[in-house]
Amino acid sequence: MVDRQLVELQDLARHLDDMRAPRLSEWRELHEYIVPHRGLFPEESDTQTARLETRDIVNPAAQIALRRGAAGLTSAMTPSGMTWFRLGFIDDIIAETFPAARQWLDVVERKLAATLARGGWYQALHEGNQEYIGYGGMLLYLETVVTRDHSGALRNGVRCECCTVGTWSIGLDSAKEVDAVARVLRYTANQLRDKFGEDALSRDVKEMLKKRPYERVDVIHLVRRNPNWNPRRMDAASMPWASYFFEAKGAERLLKTGGYLDMPYLYAVWNDARGVYGTGPGDEALADARMVQSMETKGLVGLDKSIEPPMRKPVGFRGRLETYPGAQTPMSAYEKDAVAPLYTVNFIPGIQAVEGKVAQVIRRIDETLLASLFADLMRDGLTKDVTAYAIMARRQQMAQLMGPALASYEPNVLSKGIMRVLTLLDAAGELPPPPSPLDRIITSPRDLVNIEYISPLALALRSSGAETTQAIVANVAEMARINPEVVDKIDLDQAVDEISRGLGAPGGVVRSDAEVATIRQARAERQQKMMEQEAQARAAELAMRAGAMRTEGTLAGDLKAALAGQAEGGGNG
């Protein structure tokens, strides 16, 4: 008898699939013209997918532009060889109050970065960026794994993978947060037995083990909010998110149940105006990608006809006219009709016009799929002749193009991913405990920290504000030559803070307001003391000069003697 819970979960998975159906057909077309190397659709075998990837594409401009755009996005947002995020405290007073807190956070940050690198985070993000640009959405999966380090010791880590479109469907709540995910995983019958045990398998799969052990079996992994969540208990069945595995067809029981503290799937869409699955640059580039294929095909046909045009020949030549280079066809004296092209058309101008139009459309595809945007930014940064105004204009263009997308990407993928890994490492005991007394105040490091992004793209977007502040300060400095009082309009301390934040300066470079106040007070006290010492020194010097001066026979000498006599007489009286 089939479990009632299994029936409920199957109904939920079917509902999510039905809601995905309209977008699935659009994904197929995007797969055909723009993203052939990503995507695995229902009822499609691995062999069919390989065949689709290797089908004839006349002009791969869209695929090249997509790869360049995705590589640029990866390098701009999450460069693997650079620090692209920094952990900070929710309240700056924590670092000021507890001197060991900053050192502890540095250790946590390094541990986090190393775990992400080992867990396939950067490869998954790069693959996800291709789907993010091409399909308009990306789904990543983060799970805990146990690995061995170089010494052979067991270490708790994470594994990150990009879930390609066609294998998953998703549900959002009213706040557009991920509420449920149903994902199809593929195992062989042998792998299924090794992972879940033979007793959990259906009769069909058990029979498959005997006859076809390497045949593929689809398994659904469904994660949803746990209706039995109990914050007082920490067992798998009581966690905030419930996890279920069951066979996609013929399931008789659940293969496995479990739970997560956080939603293990990270999801973002480029533009969510059309609902759950959204749209992206790939949708905008689709018409041009079709056009390139059509025009390139026509241009090749014209080129073929120019090189080897259709021929007309006398009836007597039937079956014996050779057209390969250097060929000879014997003719009798009675066969006087000439062999000639069937029609005469100059295809060269048409081919040249097609090539020009194709180049124009390819440039448009490059812009749409962000390939030219990141290429131009890199070129601007390396070219000395580009003015600061031009660079600022390019950054403003980037902000307009990337701003809406980053509004979804950073909080839903990057921030949630970092926080999830932080939670997994803490639960596995891989993080150092917070210094005392913070260890008695917080229950998890994520309660204490926030994330600041310092990637090249984040800095480029923020630096426009820094550049504006620098321009204002420079302009006021010029005005101060005419009217020094205009400087009173500028809070230079705040300007330094704004510029440092915009340029992504390390936290220890710019001092806090409290430190600055202490330094200035100490400087003022030193200056006051120095002024007092200088005044005392001048008074002593004057006294010494006055004592050494000869005053006999002068008015000053007479006055001095009179004053001395008065003082002496007063003393005797």
For residue 424, give the 3-state DSSP assignment. helix
Sign for the pseudo-dihedral over CA of 109, 110, 115, 120: positive
Rounded to whole angstroms, the Cα distance separating 181 from 203 reads 27
pLDDT digits (tens, 9 = 90+) for 513-522: 767 778 888 8
- Is a pLDDT exceeding 60 seen at residue 570? no
pLDDT value at residue 296: 87
- Global pTM reads 0.77
Tokens of 422: 């932080």
pLDDT tier, 554 (very low <50, low <70, confident <90, very high otherwise): low
Instruction: Judge residue 277's burial from the number of C-beta atoms within 10 Å of its C-beta, 0-12 exposed, 13-18 middle, 19 or more buried.
Output: buried
Residue 469 or 412, more confident: 412
Please give the order of strands across the beta sheet that includes 216-225.
Answer: 168-172, 178-188, 216-225, 241-247, 256-260
What's the mean pLDDT in 131-156? 84
What's the mean pLDDT in 366-394? 65
pLDDT value at residue 490: 79
Percent of the chain with pLDDT over 90: 38
pLDDT tier, 54 (very low <50, low <70, confident <90, very high otherwise): very low
Beta-sheet pairing, 340-341 with 311-312 = antiparallel
What's the mean pLDDT in 151-175? 87
Average pLDDT of the chain to the nearest whole number: 81
CA distances from 508 to 250, 437, 502 (A): 60, 23, 15
**Residue 397: CB atoms within 10 Å:** 13
pLDDT digits (tens, 9 = 90+) for 65-87: 999 999 988 988 898 888 899 88
Judged by average pLDDT, the poorest of 12-21, 137-146, 393-402, 403-412 is 393-402
The residue assigned the tokens 């920094």 is 86
Rounded to whole angstroms, the Cα distance separating 41 from 430 reads 39
pLDDT digits (tens, 9 = 90+) for 262-318: 999 999 999 887 789 989 999 999 999 999 998 888 888 878 777 777 777 676 666
| Cβ–Cβ under 8 Å, residues 147 and 155 | yes
- Is a pLDDT exceeding 90 seen at residue 378? no
pLDDT value at residue 382: 46
Q: Is residue 437 reached through a cis peptide bond, with omega within 30 degrees of 0 on the bond before it?
A: yes
pLDDT value at residue 501: 63
pLDDT tier, 342 (very low <50, low <70, confident <90, very high otherwise): low
What's the mean pLDDT in 357-364? 92
pLDDT value at residue 398: 63
pLDDT value at residue 478: 81
Residues 6+ apart with CB under 8 A from 492: 473
